[in-house]
Structure 1
Amino acid sequence: MTQDQTLSISVVMPAYKAEHLLHRVLPPLIGMLETGEVSEVLVVDDQSPDGTADLARKMGAKVMTTPVNGGPGAARNLAAEHAVGEVLWFVDSDVIAWPDGPEHIRNAMSEDNVAAVFGSYDDAPDGQAWFSRYKNLLHRYHHQRANRDARTFWAGCGAIRADVFREVGGFDIKTYEVPSIEDIELGYRIAETGRRIIVEPRLQGKHLKVWTMRNSLSTDIFCRALPWARLMISREGLTDGLNTSGAERVRAGLAGLLFLSVLALLIQPNWWPAPLLLLGLAFLANRDLLREMATHGGVWFAVKCLLYHQFYYIYSASVYVWCLFEYHVLGQKQKLHVRRN
């Protein structure tokens, strides 16, 4: 495989109230621009009330402004209309891209029939509270272990051939008015054209977002699980990739049985061995994740992550079951729209 050094790359960064982040996320990208590794760095200001646009311009980026606040999908679509690069490299405004990103993008695009590539977060997220580290490391864990060929896309640090992006119509900002799974849905449309999307674990960036349980629950349920479940059910059902693989479904089932066994203790306290056995099985089934978390935070950190992870499985699986019910029983077969409040 020979890397195409002539393949031009436009970096696209949607930004809203990102002034406090730009001094960290833009310098690596501007450095790539100065060395010719990328053709341009486009920052699309989504009507920020702060100094995002002015600071990005001063730091050397080309700045565009959306006509109205429309979310990152609309910002990316606007940039794609004007980008000069053959490849659009999407980098979120809270992600510090690693300097070897262009190399991995060009290598990926040199493979046969590849239209898009995405990577993962690195193993040193900014938020140091245990829950924030768990969320970011969990995202990395799934992307690092994913099948090389995917049917979805991730816009946090991912690249698409510009002509393919325009051919399939870009991000669907009518269905997804708020940031949710518009990148996943875009991946489905790319895959339907017969082109490849690959996961490149070496294409990485540091995530600066600090997660809390509150914002995680809201995001996981309303911006991820609900719309993604509805999309899968309406398209092709569960796929064997990322966090929807067959093994993940087994682990979710174990978590559900564990929860039911704990509830059963209220009726039959002498059944206490059952939850202990199921907890042991859950830890065994998640041993790779347990080992990954322990590597980055020690044993107690890993135990806390695994216990919370059982709760994650329960509410994620419950959402999917609910979506099956509303699709097949209630007949709500077009309930995909994600509206602004």
Structure 2
Amino acid sequence: MNAFPLVSVIVPNYNYAESLDLCLRSILDQTYPNIELVMVDDCSTDQSVAVAEALGVRVLSTGTNGGCGTARNVGAAHTSGELICYVDSDLALAPEAIATAVSILRAEPTVGAVCGIQDPEPLLHDTLVSRYRGLQYHYWSISSEGDISFLFPAVCMIRRSVYDEVGPFNPALRQTEEVDYGYRLTRRHRMRLTSEVRGRHDHDHELRGLLRKLFHRGRLRIPLYARARRFGKGFETASRAWGSLVAFLSLPALAAPLLLGGWWALLPALLFGASLVCDAGMYRFVLRRQGPLFLLGFVVLQFMVNVTITAGVASGAVQWLLSRPFRELYDASFPIDGNRQWKSA
């Protein structure tokens, strides 16, 4: 690898004009000296293109709205860097992020991709939900540092040679395309998550939108895990899975005192307490950073998130049993005959 290999920084974007200026400026202000920057617009209806052009940033279009995976593929096809760096348009990089990622790849030839970790503070919206999401996502990330099996796409750097070998993102997937891609990449290469590469994210700031996203992510994991025959390495730890499950079960358990009486009245509280124990490390982290009052609100939101994730997983399991197209959603990424059925968008 050259001393300063060309890094192609690709920013997929759809209607993120509000944060795009901060994102692009953070890339233009990087300490690393050899960057080509392109913003790939996925047919936005806001002022995103005008924001990028005002900064002199090259803009490409997907032609039709196809999702983040399609936008990333378009960017990779129209750039030439030895390294590809994806940066979400709602994230602002720390000034040394790209230089640090390049250094890691130079020092560790067996690592095919490096993913960064988002700061706990939100980039723009300072609501209870965005502060909750920032702390939760940050803690889950730092507790997963090291080798992982699914991509953290908000800020990640991939060797071009690895991208060419793995192939493009599956354009049929509008969600979980990063988890799918990580599975494919880590069949042959290591992928590392590190807090040395940092950025600040504009997290979801409305509860409804956050819960809807997490529900569908849980649902869409089912055919992927059934096809891959293994769980992801990273966020999805056993304790978090149990925490989500027992939180979900505490709701139907509310009927236990009415139906069974006696000591069964304690069951909902015991299940809720078990969910707290499963996430105890995260709650201690939040308590140290924000104090007991904020922790109370955090616990309520985490309970809702746990219930939502389990509901999504349960919905996905039912859909997997009933729908053949749903079962085959990831077949192109895990083909039986070894031949992919999709092409780069």
> Is TM (by shorter chain) over 0.5?
yes
Determine the C-alpha separation between the residues in 2 that align with 1:18 and 1:250.
35
Task: Report the CA distance shift for 1:171/1:281 in structure 2 as closer, same or farther (over 3 A).
Answer: same
**Contact persistence 1:256–1:314 (CA under 8 A):** yes
User: Whole-Å Cα distance in 2 between the matches of residues 64 and 252 of structure 1?
Assistant: 41
Deviation at 1:204, TM superposition (A): 1.6
Q: Which digits, 9 at most, give the CA deviation of each residue in 1:170-223, with x for residues without a partner?
A: 11012x1x3x1111111111112x11111112212111244212111211112x
Q: CA RMSD in A?
A: 2.4
- Please, which of 180, 188, 204 is the counterpart of residue 183 of structure 2? 188
Deviation at 1:91, TM superposition (A): 0.6
Corresponding residue to 1:128 among 102, 126, 129: 126
Is 2:276 aligned against 1:280? Answer: no
> Which residue of structure 1 aligns with residue 227 of structure 2?
234
261-270 vs 111-120, which moves further: 261-270
Stretch deviating more after TM superposition (298-307 or 261-270): 261-270
Offset at residue 36 of structure 1 (A):
4.7
CA distance in 2, matches of 1:182, 1:329: 23
User: What is the match of residue 113 of structure 1?
Assistant: 110
Number of residue pairs matched? 327
Structure 2 spans left out of the alignment, 5+ residues: 332-345
Amino acid at match of 1:198: R
Instruction: Supply the distance in 2 between the matched residues of 1:185 and 1:275 (Cα, whole angstroms).
Output: 36
Secondary structure of 1:273's counterpart equals helix
Which of 21, 42, 45 is the matching residue for 2:41? 45
CA shift for structure 1 position 322: 4.3
1:220 corresponds in structure 2 to 214
What CA deviation, in whole Å up to 9, does each residue of 1:270-299 have, x standing for no partner? 433333333333323322111222234321
Equivalent residue for 1:149? 147
Q: Could you report, residue by residue, the CA deviation over 1:125-168 in whole angstroms, capped at 9, with x for unpaired residues?
A: 13322122112221111111105111110211111112221322
The amino acid across from 2:246 in the alignment is L
Conserved in 2, the CA contact under 8 Å of 1:233 and 1:324? no
Aligned amino acid, residue 7 of structure 2: I
1:250 to 2:246 alignment: no
Secondary structure, counterpart of 2:76 in structure 1: helix
**How far has the Cα of 1:4 moved from its partner?**
6.6
* Structure 1 segments unaligned to the other structure (5+ residues): none
Question: Is the alpha carbon distance of 1:74 and 1:263 closer, same or farther for their aligned partners in structure 2, counting shifts above 3 Å?
Answer: same
Equivalent in the alignment of 1:299: 292
Moved more, 116-125 or 322-331: 322-331
One-letter amino acid of the structure 2 residue matched with residue 247 of structure 1: S
Instruction: Please say if residues 133 and 203 of structure 2, whose CA atoms lie closer than 8 Å, have aligned partners that are also in contact.
Output: no
- Match 1:16 to one of 3, 14, 26: 14
Deviations 1:208-240 (A, max 9, x none): 244212111211112x1111222112212324x
Q: For 1:91-134, what per-residue CA distance to the aligned partner results, in whole angstroms no more than 9, with x for missing partners?
A: 11110111111132123212131111112210111332212211
Q: Which moved more, 1:298-307 or 1:278-287?
A: 278-287
Which residue identity is paired with 1:184?
V
Given candidates 302, 305, 312, the residue that maps to 1:312 is 305
Q: 1:13 to 1:257 in 2, by over 3 A?
A: same
Percent identity over the alignment is: 23
Alignment partners' CA distance in 2, 1:249 and 1:17: 33
Distance in 2 (CA, whole Å) between partners of 1:127 and 1:54 is 22
* 2:343 corresponding residue in structure 1: none
**C-alpha separation in 2, matches of 1:277 and 1:269:** 15
Q: 1:333 to 1:280 in 2, by over 3 A?
A: closer
| Counterparts of residues 43-192 of structure 1 (less than 5 Å) | 43-109=39-105, 110-125=107-122, 126-174=124-172, 176=173, 178=174, 180-192=175-187
Judge conservation of contact 2:214–2:308 (CA < 8 Å) in 1.
no
**148 and 53 in structure 1: CA distance in 2 versus 1, 3 angstrom threshold:** same
Query: Shift of the alpha carbon at 1:300?
Result: 2.4
